Amino acid sequence: AQSVSQHNHHVILSEAASLELGCNYSYGGTVNLFWYVQYPGQHLQLLLKYFSGDPLVKGIKGFEAEFIKSKFSFNLRKPSVQWSDTAEYFCAVNRNSGNTPLVFGKGTRLSVIA
Amino acid sequence: GAVVSQHPSWVICKSGTSVKIECRSLDFQATTMFWYRQFPKQSLMLMATSNEGSKATYEQGVEKDKFLINHASLTLSTLTVTSAHPEDSSFYICSARPPTPPQYFGPGTRLLVL
């Protein structure tokens, strides 16, 4: 079965610091990869996605992620975080075939302090 | 992006009653919708895959007689929590997938069973 690991449970950064959140998945086949964000009291929003092509994908709000197939990783990055980036971040994966459900990591809580 | 709505957003009920949650894709047709459950400070756990016109596929450990899913049309799936108990209190989230990914998530329904 697929699984998604997010190793950082809670990350605390100062504003303007750089961010990298780890995500690793366990599935040997072709996958689609996603990062979702959940702001306090709000629903999940898609930050970015990777289906194929350039392994470096850029999303909304200055976020980007790099797919490294050999490492089964899809880490999320942002060069300079803002207080408004405080949220829960979820990595998700599904098989690249048919209507397969997303498998989510446990999430990483990001707290950005002024 | 595409819009998925859920109704109600917040429900409180007495133990033993049944609660119906609706999930609608507002601007696209979804042959498949997914129902997730999110416990406080935890990730989303897939409960079932809802297929239009056929029976839902439940994940291991999810009671299909307790969580009734009906996908009556290409834009509507319902989750009914039958004979709800306090341990069913949770945040229920649906997602819908248009013909091309990604999935889009509804805003969630918070259920509190007293």
**In this predicted model, what pLDDT tens digit does every residue of A8-28 receive, in sequence order?**
899 999 999 999 999 999 987
Percent of chain A past pLDDT 90, that is, above it, reads: 72
Tens-digit pLDDT profile for residues A87-107: 999 999 988 766 678 889 999
Residue B86 binned pLDDT confidence (cut-offs 50, 70, 90) = very high
What does the pLDDT average to over B40-68? 89
Answer yes or no: do A43 and B103 touch at CB < 8 A. Answer: no
What does the pLDDT average to over B89-99? 90
pLDDT at B38 over 80: yes
Which chain B residue's Cα is nearest to A6?
Answer: B43
Which chain A residue's Cα is nearest to B97?
Answer: A99
Q: What is the pLDDT of residue B1?
A: 62
Answer yes or no: do B102 and A42 touch at CB < 8 A. Answer: no
Asked if B104 is an interface residue toward chain A (Cβ–Cβ < 8 A), one would say: yes
Contact status, residue A35 vs residue B84, Cβ threshold 8 Å? no
Report d(CA B84, CA B82) in Å as an integer: 5
For CA atoms B28, B90, A11, A106, the dihedral sign is negative
Which chain A residue's Cα is nearest to B105?
Answer: A44
Asked if B57 is an interface residue toward chain A (Cβ–Cβ < 8 A), one would say: no
Residue A1 binned pLDDT confidence (cut-offs 50, 70, 90) = low
* Gap from B96 CA to chain A (nearest CA, Å): 10
pLDDT at B42 over 70: yes
**Interface with chain A: mutation pick from B44, B59, B110, highest number of A CBs within 10 Å:** B44
Residue A33's φ and ψ, nearest 5 degrees, are: -125, 140
**DSSP-based three-state secondary structure for A62:** helix
* Gap from A40 CA to chain B (nearest CA, Å): 11
**DSSP-based three-state secondary structure for A60:** helix
Mean pLDDT of chain B: 90
Strand blocks (E) in chain B:
4-7, 10-13, 19-25, 32-38, 44-51, 57-58, 67-73, 76-81, 90-97, 104-105, 109-113
Residue B2's φ and ψ, nearest 5 degrees, are: -70, 155
Q: What is the pLDDT of residue A98?
A: 62
pLDDT at B108 over 80: yes
Residue type (1 letter), A94:
N
pLDDT at B48 over 70: yes
Question: Lowest mean pLDDT: which of A58-62, B6-10, B52-56?
Answer: B52-56
Q: Which of B46, B102, B104 sits opposite A101 (nearest CB)?
A: B46
Give the C-alpha distances (Å, rounded to integers) separating A60 from A46, A47, A76.
Answer: 8, 6, 12
Cα angle B13, B16, B21 (rounded to 5 degrees) comes to: 50
* Gap from A106 CA to chain B (nearest CA, Å): 4
Q: Which of B1, B45, B106 sits opposite A46 (nearest CB)?
A: B1
